[in-house]
Amino acid sequence: MSDLVPISSLAFSKHGEPAEYRKRKVALISGITGQDGSYLTELLLEKGYQVHGIIRRSSSFNTGRLHHLYEDQHERPNKFHLHYGDLSDSTNLVYIIAQVQPTEVYNLGAQSHVKVSFEMAEYTGDVDGLGTLRLLDAIRTCGLEHHIRFYQASTSELYGKVVETPQSETTPFYPRSPYGVAKLYAYWITVNYREAYNIYACNGILFNHESPRRGRTFVTRKISRAVADISLGKQSCLYLGNLDAKRDWGHARDYVEGMWRILQQDNPEDFVLATGEMHSVREFVEKSLSVVNIAVRWEGSGTNEVGINVKTGAIIVRVDAKYFRPAEVELLLGNPAKAEKVLKWKRKVDFDSLVKEMVLADLKSVKNLVEDQN
């Protein structure tokens, strides 16, 4: 951090030198320990950035997704730093921004589970909604609002109830969960601070993106892990909620590239990142099972529906009402035309390759676990 600009000169200067400042290529990422945070860190380090991340203090290990980057440290000295912090703690955010003086801030930190947001609605509102305000205000408090480019992790959950498909930057929002509502606040405060204070602040409205690093309670990873366990005889049945929900699923690595591109434009704007293709949870199950050569047929309906292994006759999928949500988003399908045209961004990984990569990665890790236990 030897290239810091004296903060006093920035805090009180109305005429900073953004070009000079921006040359430093310093990124600050909230939510660095999450799926997207880890892929974005890899990308930015490859591009020569110094990367700083905010991590939460936890009694258990929470930097597993960043482990390999720590190990690379000796090849990139002084390029990767972690700071304890939390989006609920304004003073801490001001301190980190003042210390790091980033050129780009990526606000990826969030209580990101839609179902959990119904159980922790106030907390989700605080972190996902007000947390975004706190980070933007920390930037202003440090007098860096004309020096920093700000990315907000907005979401297709803003669309919620179907008003039109495919959904684009102009589709009206109708969120269907405390998570979606909190993210709606974050979306608009980002737009508002851009308009009110001329901050370079953008929303990436990202549709679902997955990977082998996806948290294990999200449906895709829950399925890929269960399929690995079932095929290796470690689990007999997978319990799921709404099999008919449809999502536009892409690969997280493609989407972090889009986040970076959003902050490299001449003017700050909001963009949808999506594949433009939609599949049901049921299709995700079928496709995952096909990777391990298991064919499934469905019987029954509603909560009595089951998935049966065609070869053995065993029930391998059941519906459990506890995974249903008080209000569901039935389908999401994005229109990435603006991102394709302006950012020259396009997803590279298709649905089949995504599913295959996730199942094969889980097969490998389950096999390693079994070997370790023997």
* Window contacting ligand GDR (CB under 6 A); options: 132-140, 195-203, 213-221, 290-298: 213-221
- Secondary structure class of 26 (helix, strand, coil): strand
Q: What b-and-e string marks burial along 24-35, b requiring 16 or more CB atoms within 10 Å of the CB? A: eebbbbbbbbbb
What whole-number distance in Å separates Cα of residue 181 and Cα of residue 178? Answer: 5
Cβ 331 vs Cβ 341: under 8 Å: no
What are the residues whose beta carbons fall under 8 Å from the beta carbon of 53, sequence distance 6 or more? Answer: 28, 29, 30, 32, 33, 37, 41, 66, 80, 81, 82, 83
155 belongs to the catalytic site: yes
Residue number, nearest CB to ligand GDR? 245
Cβ 322 vs Cβ 315: under 8 Å: no
- Secondary structure class of 331 (helix, strand, coil): strand
- Secondary structure class of 161 (helix, strand, coil): coil
Nearest approach in angstroms of CB 226 to ligand NDP is: 19
Q: Which is nearer to ligand GDR, 196 or 321 (CB)?
A: 321
Q: Which is nearer to ligand NDP, 37 or 336 (CB)?
A: 37
33 belongs to the catalytic site: no
Q: For the CA atoms of 73, 75, 79, 82, what is the dihedral angle to 10 degrees? A: -10
Among residues 10, 44, 94, 114, the one that binds ligand GDR under rule CB under 6 A: 114
**How far does CA 42 lie from the centroid of its chain?**
15
What whole-number distance in Å separates Cα of residue 30 and Cα of residue 135? Answer: 9
What whole-number distance in Å separates Cα of residue 346 and Cα of residue 94? Answer: 35
Q: What letter represents residue 104's amino acid?
A: E
Using CB under 6 A as the binding rule, whether residue 174 contacts ligand GDR is answered as no
Q: What letter represents residue 294's amino acid?
A: I
Using CB under 6 A as the binding rule, whether residue 132 contacts ligand GDR is answered as no
Using CB under 6 A as the binding rule, whether residue 242 contacts ligand GDR is answered as yes
Q: Could you tell which of ligand NDP, ligand GDR, none binds residue 86, using a CB distance below 5 to 8 A set by kind?
A: ligand NDP
Q: Could you tell which of ligand NDP, ligand GDR, none binds residue 343, using a CB distance below 5 to 8 A set by kind?
A: none
Q: Which residue among the candidates 21, 179, 193, 200 is catalytic per the annotation? A: 179
179 belongs to the catalytic site: yes
Q: Could you tell which of ligand GDR, ligand NDP, none binds residue 198, using a CB distance below 5 to 8 A set by kind?
A: none
Nearest to 270 by CA among 336, 202, 334: 202
Site string for ligand GDR, 86-105 (x = CB under 6 A): --------------------
What whole-number distance in Å separates Cα of residue 130 and Cα of residue 340? Answer: 31
- Number of other CB atoms surrounding residue 156 within 10 Å: 23
Among residues 36, 104, 137, 157, the one that binds ligand GDR under rule CB under 6 A: 157
Q: Which is nearer to ligand GDR, 55 or 219 (CB)?
A: 219
Nearest approach in angstroms of CB 370 to ligand GDR is: 24
Using CB under 6 A as the binding rule, whether residue 275 contacts ligand GDR is answered as no
Within 277-306, the residues that bind ligand GDR by CB under 6 A are 281
Residue 12 φ then ψ, to 5°:
-110, -5
Interface residues toward ligand NDP, by CB under 6 A: 30-37, 54, 56, 58, 62, 86-88, 108-112, 127, 153, 155, 206, 208-209, 215
What whole-number distance in Å separates Cα of residue 138 and Cα of residue 151? Answer: 14
Q: Which is nearer to ligand GDR, 3 or 244 (CB)?
A: 244
Q: Which residue among the candidates 157, 210, 257, 357 is catalytic per the annotation? A: 157
- Number of other CB atoms surrounding residue 230 within 10 Å: 21
Nearest approach in angstroms of CB 177 to ligand GDR is: 8
Q: Catalytic residue numbers?
A: 155, 157, 179
Residues of the shown chain interacting with ligand GDR in the complex, contacts defined by CB under 6 A: 112, 114-115, 155-157, 208, 217-220, 222, 240-242, 245, 247, 281, 323, 325, 328-329
